[in-house]
Amino acid sequence: MIETIREYLNTLIQPYGDTRVHHCRVEAVHFAEGRCQLVGTVLDTDTAADLFLGLATRFPAVTFVTDAVRILRQANPTLLTVGTNLTGLHREPSFLAELLSQLLNGQPVEVLDERDRWVFVRQADGYLGWTYRPYLVSEPAPAPTHLVATGVCLLRAEPTPTAPVVGRLLAGTPVRVEAAAEGWLALTAAGGLKGWAVAADLRSLAELPTTGAGQRQQMATDALSFVGVPYLWGGNTALGCDCSGFVRLLHTLAGLTIPRDADMQFAAGRPVDPPFQPGDLLFFNGSGGHRPISHVGLSLGGWRMIHSSRSRNGVYEDDVQAVPRLRESFVAARTFCCG
């Protein structure tokens, strides 16, 4: 009987197989006298209810003991904030595990589980992964007024280019500006990081584009400043980025929030047809990808595209129609711009 239950349990778990946004690890470990013991963890109460209802419906004569199934999301969750300038989000609790994404200073996360010096966290968009606990702080980030708009923003002790560097922040990081002095801005970031930055390296949240045309122009302009940034699986900064991390960063700098991965972006975006406008996202498949949508780039107008390419090891421009592997694997385009 227990093998039959295990087989059916596996079918119930399959819809939760995308571990980027779901967590459902439950096993049937013992069956005796009409009672089946379940153990494991699930993301939330909805997942648990769906699982338990499915089992009860399929096996009405069995009593399922569920007290050893732990629900990770709580009514009063622990919220932490990234206190360093950057940290990784990994598939498992180890720096050697696959890098899924990166978290910038000031990003809040919901703690779901802990193991040694690592925490399993959920981002505001639902994306899951393990991150290093010592790099998180309990205090929320200062209410932001600006974004870091240059690849790497140096923070100095005083508003002068000869002052000592006291830190550095990466493009897309939200910061709070406290004062200004002749082309310099004093800022505060999460974790108590403070310093002076060149005013041109920051972008006011109040001045982010609010029209589709403005968003498209902003992304196209910003994209060119990242040419040559090396490819990094899971990366989303000027220190290294993958294809979806790159286009997500460009949208952040234009005031838009989009999903993390290419297939998620494809599913969430609004379809557009040729001729493509700057800021449209072009999506591709390929035999080397582990998902139907395996690559994305940003149109600079028509088929001219800028993207972080593994084959070219970084961010470069390409004409989609002039590159056979791109031309033959193109799927469709999407946009997140207004209008």
In the prediction, which pLDDT does 1 show? 84
The pLDDT assigned to 286 comes to 73
pLDDT at 289: 57
Instruction: Count CB-CB contacts under 10 A for residue 161.
Output: 10
Phi, psi angle pair for 99, to nearest 5°:
-80, 115
Could you give the CA distance from residue 109 to residue 128 in angstroms, rounded to a whole number?
Answer: 10
Query: With a cut of 70, which residues of the chain have pLDDT below it?
Result: 287-290
Q: Which residues pair with 102 in a beta bridge?
A: 88
Per-residue model confidence as pLDDT tens digits over 152-202? 999 999 999 999 999 999 999 999 999 999 999 999 999 999 999 999 999
Beta bridge partners of 179: 186
Pairing type for strands 35-42 and 63-71 reads parallel
Domain with CATH 2.30.30.40 in the chain: 78-137
pTM: 0.95
How high is the pLDDT of residue 288? 60
Share of the chain above pLDDT 90, in %: 97
Task: Quote the pLDDT of residue 188.
Answer: 98
Dihedral of the alpha carbons of 102, 108, 114, 120, in degrees to the nearest 10: -50
Domain with CATH 3.30.300.130 in the chain: 2-71
Q: What 8-state DSSP symbol labels residue 48?
A: H
CA of 287: how far to CAs of 235, 268, 313, 325, 332, in Å? Answer: 22, 23, 18, 11, 17
Percent of the chain with pLDDT over 70: 99
Task: For domain 78-137, give the CATH number.
Answer: 2.30.30.40
- Residue 199 region by backbone torsions, left for phi larger than 0, else alpha for psi between -120 and 50, else beta: alpha
134: nearest Cα among 203, 83, 58: 83
For the 2-71 domain, the top CATH level (class) is alpha beta
End-to-end CA distance of the chain: 57
Backbone torsion region of residue 326, taken as left when φ is above 0, otherwise alpha when ψ lies between -120 and 50, otherwise beta: alpha
For 250-287, b/e burial (b = at least 16 CB within 10 A) is: bbbbbbbebbbbbbbbbeebeebeeebbbbbbbbbbee
- CATH domain 208-335 topology: endopeptidase fold (from Nostoc punctiforme) (3.90.1720)
